[in-house]
Structure 1
Amino acid sequence: MNRATKSGIAAEAQSKVEAKYSEQLAAECLEWIAAITGKDVDPNGAMDNFYEQLKNGVLLCEVINALKPGQIKKIQTSSMAFKCMENINNFVDGAKACGVPSQETFQTVDLWERQNLNSVVICIQSLGRKGSQFGKPSIGPKEAEKNVRNFSEEQLNASNAVISLQYGSNKGANQAGMSFGNTRHM
């Protein structure tokens, strides 16, 4: 990475983004990744460690293949930038295929250029909640299950007989004569 250091408004914005990062959630993500992949992962949630563990995307691709075997056909082992970014992009696509909503994913540069590691944590947490769907351990709160209800035509028509005034009435009250504050002078 050969980016100039940010200054002014850009530096303020970046510090706000970094302030959202949670070492505890990042550590939970790394522990889950170790449990899913069986790899030796340092579970320290510090920003530097989290970035170093995941920056080449290999571990992330292995997570997707652990959940959905064969989802990512070829994991790039080269340390060349575009190969690593391809791994990260494959992970994001794989996460979407596993059911992670697109608003909980991240852009490749968020991880590769260390722009927004919090969004990476959010994505892994979201993927972690889906773990139980694939027979693997999961992290975070258990996801709600769909509860579809089917009403009969008779039940649906019964609601048409309800008169809304039966719920209560304001007995003809209105806002006439109410005034708060000063009048508007034009």
Structure 2
Amino acid sequence: MATSRATKSGFAAEAQAKIMSKYNEQHAHEVLEWIAEIINKPLNTNGEMDNFYDVLKDGTILCELVNEIKAGSVKKINTSTMAFKCMENINNFLASATTLGVPSQEQFQTVDLWERQNLNSVVICLQSLGRKASNFGKPGIGPKESTKNVRNFSEEQLKASDSVISLQYGSNKGANQSGINFGNTRHM
């Protein structure tokens, strides 16, 4: 766990402090409330870093969450508190999050949660999963996922656009260079 690591110093301590400063208690609180609603269990939804870590560190709540969103996502949830079993739960959650559509750039590494290295990335991952939950008929959090707005143009419409001069090419109206005297001397 986090207590087994050596204390960071110098640049490493500064980098870790910067990572930890990005943690937002309000976002963590919203995520914990959403998880409690989905799994239908009472949780301590206090958004403080210590509580957020304590609620999620063993990965069982995370596995229950993905199983509620899509049944059978995690086949076996380990209830043991042994380190490798807890990390296996977290890995199973991350694999299920990928299949549910959470992009890899919004996911966290197992050590980010287990060793409390970057809890902000855990919040980001859960927010992303919250946006995907509405695709599976569950209440979501955050902004609604965007949908495609495919447009089909006829050949006639496409040909008509060829004759339009884009404003990016410039214009023959408005500002011009009259009055600019390149090469002329200043008359006094």
Using structure 1 for the length normalisation, give the TM-score: 0.88
Q: Percent identity?
A: 66
* Corresponding residue of 1:61: 63
Secondary structure of the residue that 2:89 maps to in structure 1? Answer: helix
**Number of equivalenced pairs:** 177
* Bigger mean CA deviation after superposition, 57-66 or 72-81: 72-81
Report the Cα distance in structure 1 between the residues aligned to 2:110 and 2:155, rounded to whole angstroms. Answer: 50
Deviations 1:109-164 (A, max 9, x none): 10011000000000001111122211111111222222111112222222222245
Q: For the aligned residues, what is the CA RMSD?
A: 2.1
Q: How does 1:1-186 map to 2 (within 5 A)?
A: 1=1, 2-164=4-166, 168-169=171-172, 171=176
- Separation in structure 2 between the aligned mates of residue 145 and residue 167 of structure 1, nearest angstrom: 34
1-side partners of 2:41 and 2:95: how far apart?
Answer: 22
Could you give the per-residue CA deviations for residues 77-113 of structure 1, whole angstroms, max 9, x where no partner exists? 1111111111111111111111111111111110011
Deviates more, 1:64-73 or 1:142-151: 142-151
Using the alignment, how far apart are the partners of 1:176 and 1:72 within structure 2? 75
Structure 2 CA distance for aligned equivalents of residues 164 and 46 of structure 1: 53
Larger of the two Rg values belongs to structure: 2
CA–CA distance in structure 2, aligned partners of residues 162 and 28 of structure 1: 49
**CA separation of 1:41 and 1:153: change in aligned 2, threshold 3 A:** same
Q: Against the structure 1 CA distance between its residues 144 and 7, is the aligned structure 2 distance closer, same or farther, given a 3 Å change threshold?
A: same
Higher mean displacement: 164-173 or 45-54 = 164-173
Q: Which sections of structure 1, spanning at least 5 residues, go unmatched?
A: 178-186
